């Protein structure tokens, strides 16, 4: 939020804006000096920090460039979350804003940011993906999410099924969230093509204890469903700072039942019913997304999902000296789900019908046995993280962060047929899946960063990650709770990336700054295979390596106006899922492609930022030209057609964003955030599907408009009104979905939200809110929630 005294400062800050491994280090010798410099400087910084342990820390700040999104100085005070020299557009949201919104899950704090949308189908949805600019809400590997420097992005795949692990962050512990648009910084890999989300959580400076209770309900009516769906969430935290040691422990429990997420449908039949077909009633008809007449049979496998989620998180921090700090994070998340299905079809005696040949209106339909098959499952996840850093105001600083995300237990069970019985089905085990990361970084901050021309801010770093997928599917005679039976299929694989980077922010004239850098990445995929019964298909290892140069030139025209031009090359390497994960039908293995090329992006951005009228205006022109876009599509040039992840020749996304964020706008107590964005994303080359050339890319709306207004009547009362608009977008690459505002389509929508907040004391709060105030029925293939009411109570000491 802004005050008149902070406008110029905010404007300037917004301008930052095994032997197997050893065998792969040889190609990286070209950048070995960077690694040596990083490690040597880290050691030098640590030694110097020890020498200055007795210096005054009242002015201690973070190094200018930091990967970690969360730090405190030696006295526990918060420090900047992002590098002020980032050569990119940065949007920030804080508790002062989102505490007045309807926030249940962490991703909710992003829902009003410019040209960004969150694909969240219900409270507790595991598939909440962010979409920004030319990245759709199924391209999860084009976004990065960090919490206090620990990677939460699930880069095991690239679809709605691989969302960031938002559950490892409690909303009440967030201090600040920064969203960096585009791949313009050498500090981040090509997965930043869409956006990078840096979540900063707070640490206590004294003893504290907090509790929060929420309840929510929605009424949903569509086809054969007309009922209420309810949920609740409870969380608590306790923490303290004792001398040099601080700690914060939090627990959270969420339980919710979603609206129907998917329906079983069949195309309208033209085959007359036969004597042996079962006459049924209860079916519904509608025109689907391509305007084809369609019959709705019931709620299918994804169904009405009941989910229970439990979280535990411990974060500790210790100040070894006033300028050397270490920390440890332990996160645990357990989830169970039960997807209930139902049929709308009943015979003349009132018995439910789930499968077989039926007579609907005099025509024959064949309902597959699995059309309304229920499913259930559970998973257990652990996050371990350690960090060590120095934080001197000037000179060399260093930071090391290591993390391990472990899916220790994962079971997904699906029935072979509909109904409430416990018959045959399948069970898929995913334990052993997870990822490991290591980041080493050193930075140089000039002694007098405000001295004007000639100052340099330097960054050198090394990054390593390793992703592992191991999924095995078995048949079982009792799908709900039976043991694993005969082996059905399996897929597995690993990817590994090592990167070195260097970046310099150089103020070569008093009002001019050049930020330039390069990132070198060496990527490999190995140990990939798929198996069907006794047959195993191994895949040869593949590798790729690239340099990614970046540059940004900015001019402070005045203290309140900054202009910036940025250009960047970025490579997004394939994930394990895109390379090896497939679907096995009969004797053929499909939907995998171990020979994918990396996405090759050239991004450009022109931005003007103007601090005025108690806030910040931003105007941005952007363009992303991506060669070899990785996307699941059908190759229509071969017979029979093959559907799998393929490289699309070229996709171009260009557009404009305007935004404003201000405090005390026009009258004291009125805070306003608003944005309008236009994005045109088109397929320019696609050899495997020529019919898609010249068409709009998948799920990129032409327009996005967000607005939030909060009026603070006084220190105790606040009212928020908000609106979200999303324009025309397509659910097919050939833009064949001409009727988008139905189940199976991707809607244009306008949604209004409201919340009233009452704070009796600084540590207590009561909130009442509504999302989707006018009960709009809108879809992202699946239906979004209907009008949802929230009530919340918080208390703290």
Q: Write the DSSP string, 289-301.
A: TTS-EEEEEEEEE
Check residue 730 and report its DSSP letter: B
Question: Which structural domain, as residue segments, surrounds residue 467?
Answer: 4-258+301-339+372-486+600-796
In the chain the first and final C-alpha atoms are separated, in Å, by 25
Distances (CA, A) of 637 to 589, 642, 651, 731: 19, 9, 19, 21
Helix count (H) and strand count (E) of the chain? 5, 40
Q: Report the phi/psi class of residue 577: left, alpha or beta, with left for phi > 0 and alpha for psi in -120 to 50.
A: alpha
Looking at residue 315, its pLDDT comes to 97
Looking at residue 498, its pLDDT comes to 98
Number of domains in the chain: 1
Residue 40 contacts by C-beta under 8 Å, 6 or more apart in sequence? none
User: Running along the chain, 797 residues long, what does each successive block of 10 average in pLDDT?
Assistant: 36 35 34 36 40 36 32 39 78 96 96 96 94 96 95 93 93 95 96 96 96 97 95 97 97 97 96 96 97 96 92 97 97 96 95 96 95 95 97 95 96 93 94 95 84 84 96 95 94 95 95 96 94 85 96 96 97 93 47 85 98 94 98 85 89 98 94 98 97 97 98 97 97 96 96 98 96 97 97 96
Looking at residue 640, its pLDDT comes to 78
Beta bridge partners of 596: none
Does 586 reside within a domain? no
The secondary element (H helix, E strand) that includes residue 372 is none
Query: How many alpha carbons lie under 13 Å from residue 682 in its C-beta half-sphere?
Result: 8
Looking at residue 595, its pLDDT comes to 85
Does 652 reside within a domain? yes
Separation CA 154–CA 433 (nearest Å):
11
Lookup result for tokens 């559970």: 378
Q: Report the phi/psi class of residue 787: left, alpha or beta, with left for phi > 0 and alpha for psi in -120 to 50.
A: beta
Does 517 reside within a domain? no
Q: What is the CB neighbour count within 10 angstroms for residue 631?
A: 23
511: Cα separation from own chain's centroid: 36
Distances (CA, A) of 278 to 283, 297, 737: 13, 14, 33
CA angle 143, 144, 147 (to 5 degrees): 145
From 699, 676, 657, select the one nearest 181 (Cα to Cα).
657
Looking at residue 591, its pLDDT comes to 56
Distances (CA, A) of 448 to 507, 555, 647: 12, 20, 49
Q: What is the CB neighbour count within 10 angstroms for residue 82?
A: 26
25: Cα separation from own chain's centroid: 31
Separation CA 673–CA 659 (nearest Å):
8
Answer yes or no: are the C-beta atoms of 120 and 167 closer than 8 Å: no
Does 592 reside within a domain? no
From 363, 495, 484, 491, select the one nearest 427 (Cα to Cα).
484
Separation CA 548–CA 501 (nearest Å):
9
Give this prediction's pTM: 0.89
> What is the domain-level CATH number for residue 80?
2.40.170
Q: What is the CB neighbour count within 10 angstroms for residue 2?
A: 20
User: How is residue 561 written in tokens?
Assistant: 């106006």
Does 495 reside within a domain? no
Separation CA 454–CA 491 (nearest Å):
55
From 395, 380, 375, select the one nearest 458 (Cα to Cα).
395
Separation CA 285–CA 293 (nearest Å):
7
Does 623 reside within a domain? yes
Does 621 reside within a domain? yes
Query: How many alpha carbons lie under 13 Å from residue 461 in its C-beta half-sphere?
Result: 32
391: Cα separation from own chain's centroid: 29
Separation CA 625–CA 631 (nearest Å):
15
Does 507 reside within a domain? no
Residue 172 contacts by C-beta under 8 Å, 6 or more apart in sequence? 210, 212, 235, 237, 250, 794
Distances (CA, A) of 609 to 224, 382, 499, 509, 561: 51, 41, 32, 19, 6
Query: DSSP 3-state assignment of 778?
Result: coil
Answer yes or no: are the C-beta atoms of 344 and 354 closer than 8 Å: no
The secondary element (H helix, E strand) that includes residue 354 is none
């Amino acid at each position: 939020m802004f005050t008149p005294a902070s406008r110029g400062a905010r404007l300037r800050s917004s301008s930052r804006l095994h032997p197997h491994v050893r065998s792969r280090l040889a190609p990286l010798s070209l950048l070995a000096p960077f690694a040596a410099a990083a490690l040597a400087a880290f050691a030098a910084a640590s030694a110097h920090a020890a020498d200055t342990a007795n210096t005054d820390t009242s002015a201690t700040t973070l190094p200018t460039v930091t990967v970690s999104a969360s730090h405190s100085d030696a006295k526990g005070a918060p420090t900047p979350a992002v590098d002020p020299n980032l050569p990119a557009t940065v949007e920030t949201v804080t508790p002062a804003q989102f505490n007045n919104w309807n926030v249940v899950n962490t991703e909710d704090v992003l829902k009003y940011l410019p040209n960004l949308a969150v694909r969240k189908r219900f409270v507790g949805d595991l598939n909440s993906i962010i979409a920004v600019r030319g990245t759709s809400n199924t391209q999860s590997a084009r976004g990065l999410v960090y919490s206090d420097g620990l990677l939460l992005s699930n880069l095991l795949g690239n679809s709605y099924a691989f969302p960031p692990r938002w559950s490892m962050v409690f909303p009440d512990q967030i201090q600040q969230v920064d969203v960096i648009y585009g791949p313009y910084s050498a500090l981040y890999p090509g997965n930043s093509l869409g956006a990078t989300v840096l979540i900063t959580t707070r640490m206590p400076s004294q003893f504290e204890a907090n509790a929060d209770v929420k309840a929510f309900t929605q009424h949903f009516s569509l086809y054969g469903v007309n009922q209420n769906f309810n949920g609740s969430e409870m969380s608590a935290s306790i923490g303290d700072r004792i001398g040099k040691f601080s700690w914060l422990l939090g627990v959270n429990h969420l339980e919710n039942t979603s609206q129907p997420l998917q329906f079983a449908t069949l195309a309208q039949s033209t085959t007359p019913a036969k004597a042996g077909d079962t006459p049924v009633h209860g079916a519904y008809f509608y025109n689907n997304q391509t305007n084809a007449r369609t019959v709705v049979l019931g709620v299918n496998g994804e169904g009405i999902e009941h989910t229970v989620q439990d979280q535990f998180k411990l974060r500790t921090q210790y100040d070894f000296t006033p300028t050397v700090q270490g920390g440890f994070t332990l996160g645990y998340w357990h989830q169970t789900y039960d997807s209930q299905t139902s049929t709308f079809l009943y015979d003349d005696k009132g018995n439910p019908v789930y499968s077989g040949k039926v007579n609907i209106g005099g025509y024959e339909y064949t309902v597959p046995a699995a059309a309304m098959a229920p499913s259930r499952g559970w998973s257990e996840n652990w996050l371990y993280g350690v960090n060590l850093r120095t934080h001197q105001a000037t000179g060399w600083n260093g930071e090391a962060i290591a993390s391990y995300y472990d899916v220790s237990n994962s079971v997904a069970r699906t029935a072979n047929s509909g109904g409430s019985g416990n018959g045959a089905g399948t069970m898929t085990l995913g334990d052993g899946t997870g990822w490991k990361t290591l980041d080493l970084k050193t930075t140089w901050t000039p002694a007098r960063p405000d001295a004007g021309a000639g100052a340099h801010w330097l960054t050198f770093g090394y990054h390593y990650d390793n992703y592992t997928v191991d999924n095995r599917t078995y048949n079982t005679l009792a799908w709900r709770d039976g043991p694993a039976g005969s082996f059905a299929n399996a897929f597995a694989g690993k990817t590994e990336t090592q990167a070195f980077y260097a970046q310099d922010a150089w103020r070569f004239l008093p009002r001019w700054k050049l930020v330039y850098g390069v990132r070198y990445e060496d990527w490999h995929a190995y140990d990939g295979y798929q198996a069907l019964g006794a047959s195993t298909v191994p895949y040869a290892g593949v590798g790729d390596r690239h340099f990614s140069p970046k540059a940004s030139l900015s001019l402070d025209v005045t203290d309140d106006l900054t202009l910036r031009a940025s250009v960047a090359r970025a490579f997004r390497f394939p994930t394990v899922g895109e390379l090896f994960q497939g679907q096995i039908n009969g004797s053929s293995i499909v939907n995998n492609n171990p020979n994918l090329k990396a996405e090759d992006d050239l991004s450009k951005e022109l931005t003007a930022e103007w601090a005025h009228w108690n806030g910040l205006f931003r105007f941005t022109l952007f363009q992303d030209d991506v060669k070899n876009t990785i996307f699941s599509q059908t190759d229509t040039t071969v017979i029979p057609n093959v559907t799998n992840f393929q490289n699309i020749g070229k996709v171009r996304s260009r557009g404009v964003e305007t935004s404003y964020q201000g405090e005390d706008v026009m009258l004291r107590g009125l805070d306003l955030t608003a944005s309008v964005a236009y994005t045109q994303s088109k397929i320019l080359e696609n050899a495997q599907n020529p019919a898609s050339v010249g068409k709009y890319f998948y799920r990129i709306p032409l327009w996005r408009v967000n607005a939030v207004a909060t009026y603070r009547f006084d220190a105790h009362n606040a009212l928020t009104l908000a609106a979200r608009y999303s324009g025309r977008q397509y659910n097919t690459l050939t833009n064949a979905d001409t009727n988008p505002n139905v189940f199976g389509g991707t809607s244009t929508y306008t949604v209004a939200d409201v919340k009233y907040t009452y704070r009796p004391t600084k540590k207590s709060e009561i909130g009442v809110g509504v999302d989707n105030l006018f009960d709009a029925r809108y879809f992202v293939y699946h239906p979004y929630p209907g009008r949802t009411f929230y009530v919340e109570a918080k208390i703290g000491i």
